[in-house]
Amino acid sequence: MATVENRLVERLPRNDRRSLLALCEPVQLMLTEVLSELGKPTQHAYFPIDGFISLVARTDGHPGLEVGMVGREGMLGAQLALGVATVPLHALVQGPGAAWRITTADFRRELARSSALQRGLDRYIYVLMSQLAASAACQRFHLIGPRLARWLLMSRDRAHCDSFRVTHEFLALMLGVRRVGITTAASALQRRALIEYHRGDLTVLDRRGLEAMACGCYAEDRQAYADLLS
């Protein structure tokens, strides 16, 4: 199991943290693994450590559109803190890695016991709502290039390294655009020497340059986390 901890768990007082982790089990998140499905009961909550998860909205038979990400800064299953067991969004693993997993029943008992855990999740849910709202506006008003740059930065932040694996098909699905649009935008980033991409392996070469190319949603998203969760 990785030694790096989930930040929501880290922020808890020592006794609350120990109590929560005693109820958790370490798991490995596998690439493209589906962790929860829209409208189904929540079976487990997940606290990623070095893996990360895509939150996908689906409607009218369409394959889906990514509206949020969950990495070590947060958790999957935050709706349980609101007393809601129904899954609001499809969730699949975008980046493989370690996580803590806890059953819904154990998590609810721990929430009732730990006011610190409830307060932390109240803040996280606010930030997650902000991310979901920003994602909707970003999809509607921003061009593919800046949106792609934002997505790559968000993925890089949660992968905790400059290199990760992603295909053009997956990017097109997550951004809700045609594959040719992703190919054109990614090629433009490569020509500027901001990224390197070959057969699904992507490397961020110039983070600052990529930030300059990204839409303002990326900086706003980071600021929301810094203001409420740092």
Query: Percent of the chain having pLDDT more than 70?
Result: 97
Q: Is the pLDDT of residue 94 over 80?
A: yes
Q: Is residue 74 part of a domain?
A: yes
Together in a domain, 19 and 133: yes
Q: Is residue 106 part of a domain?
A: yes
Together in a domain, 130 and 44: yes
The pLDDT confidence band at residue 230, using thresholds 50, 70 and 90, is low
* Residue-number span of the structural domain to which 34 is assigned: 7-138
Residue 176, pLDDT score:
85
Together in a domain, 76 and 168: no
Cross-strand pairs, 48: 99
Together in a domain, 124 and 92: yes
Q: Is residue 28 part of a domain?
A: yes
Together in a domain, 127 and 72: yes
The CATH number covering residue 161 comes to 1.10.10.10
CB-count exposure of residue 46 (10 Å: 0-12, 13-18, 19+)? buried
Together in a domain, 88 and 179: no
Together in a domain, 199 and 104: no
For the full predicted model, state whether its pTM sits above 0.75. Answer: yes
Residue 33, pLDDT score:
95
Stretch 20-41: mean pLDDT: 95
CA angle 224, 85, 65 (to 5 degrees): 55
Residues sharing a CB contact under 8 Å with residue 200, sequence separation 6 or more, in sequence order? 165, 166, 167
Q: Is residue 228 part of a domain?
A: no
Condensed to tens digits (0 to 9), the pLDDT of residues 171-229 reads 888 888 899 999 999 999 999 999 999 888 999 999 999 999 999 889 888 888 887 77
Q: Is residue 221 part of a domain?
A: no
